[in-house]
């Protein structure tokens, strides 16, 4: 059964290609190549019924597009060679670095290559507890987010590692460049998060949402020549809701740089990607009792962004 989505053109997208506009409007889980294929297959039309058959079509203010998402194709579970950095390996689990721009696993409307394909190519044993489409996946990172993930090699390990997350006995820290300044030098954002009532791929702050807590610390603030402020922030998750850091920072008028889903001017920073890194994990190994701590250095793209802030 197909699914129909709606997208309306705002001022910031006037004159842009329709494939770029729809990629932003539909969220991180949808790839631009998927959008282009839908256009080629005549799955996109205006509210007036005009079929769009070119990805280069320029959108206009207020245009409403209807996207008929085709039925899901078979799961893409082919092993595919992928350059994966392994930071720690034990008989029960792995800690890897997920590259930015690749989904942890296949998502709605997107069966493009995911981290799972690379895991299946490199590792013979992966847990199946998370379901057929998610071998080894204990927890996930958003498609544009880079950083540390724990991968389970068997179902028993998956169960034990999953308990670490459920009991909050694992420290998860992120680094992010945000636009603007968060209140004070450090603080807590304690706001409930729920699925957005109108935009199914987004989350939002809602009194009906699940409790969500993010601790943050501003590491540095830099101003561009035009007066824009950007802050490098460390965020520690006390809960693990979908898009939690992204939604919490956006709620404070400090969206993450390059966030196509929650920032209005994200297209200015598209060459850098989403500036969010899962850079630190620490926990007590449930199998050996040892204290495990893994920390990533700042990626080159984070450093390039900082050195080029003046031009923004």
Catalytic residues: 142
Q: Is-contact 122 270, C-beta < 8 A? A: no
Contact 286, 298 (CB under 8 A): no
Q: State the Cα angle at 130 between 127 and 134, rounded to 5°.
A: 80
Query: Which DSSP letter does residue 246 get?
Result: H
CB 161 within 8 A of CB 95: no
Residue 110 DSSP symbol: B
Backbone angles phi, psi at 304, to 5 degrees: -65, -40
**Looking at the chain, how many residues does it have?**
312
Kind and range of the H or E run holding 18: helix 18-26
Helix axes 32-40, 18-26, angle to 10 degrees: 120
């Amino acid at each position: 059964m197909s699914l129909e989505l709606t997208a309306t053109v705002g001022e910031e997208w006037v004159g842009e290609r329709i494939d770029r506009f729809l990629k932003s409007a539909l969220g991180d889980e949808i790839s631009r190549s998927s959008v282009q294929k839908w256009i080629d297959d005549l799955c996109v039309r205006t509210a007036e019924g005009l079929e769009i058959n070119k990805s280069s079509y320029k959108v206009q203010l207020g245009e409403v597009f209807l996207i008929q998402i085709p039925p899901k194709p078979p799961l893409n579970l082919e092993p595919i060679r992928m350059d994966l950095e392994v930071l720690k390996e034990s008989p029960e689990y792995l800690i890897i670095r997920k590259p930015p721009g690749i989904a942890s696993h296949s998502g709605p409307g997107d069966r493009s290559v995911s981290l799972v394909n690379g895991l299946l190519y490199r590792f013979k044993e992966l847990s199946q507890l998370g379901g057929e489409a998610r071998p080894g996946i204990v927890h996930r990172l958003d498609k544009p987010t880079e950083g540390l993930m724990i991968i389970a090699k068997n179902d028993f390990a998956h169960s034990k590692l999953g308990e670490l997350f459920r009991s909050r006995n694992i420290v998860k820290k992120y680094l992010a460049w945000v636009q603007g300044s968060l209140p004070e030098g450090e603080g807590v954002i304690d706001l409930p998060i729920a699925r957005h009532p109108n935009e199914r791929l987004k989350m939002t702050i809602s009194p009906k949402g699940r409790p969500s807590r993010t601790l943050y610390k501003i590491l540095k603030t830099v101003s561009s020549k035009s007066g824009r402020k950007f802050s490098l922030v460390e965020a520690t998750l006390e809960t693990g809701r979908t898009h939690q850091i992204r939604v919490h920072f956006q709620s404070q008028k400090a969206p993450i740089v390059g966030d196509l889903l929650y920032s209005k001017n994200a297209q200015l920073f598209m060459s850098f990607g989403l500036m969010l890194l899962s850079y630190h994990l620490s926990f007590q190994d449930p199998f050996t009792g040892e204290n495990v701590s893994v920390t990533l250095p700042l990626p080159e793209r984070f450093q390039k962004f900082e050195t080029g802030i003046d031009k923004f």
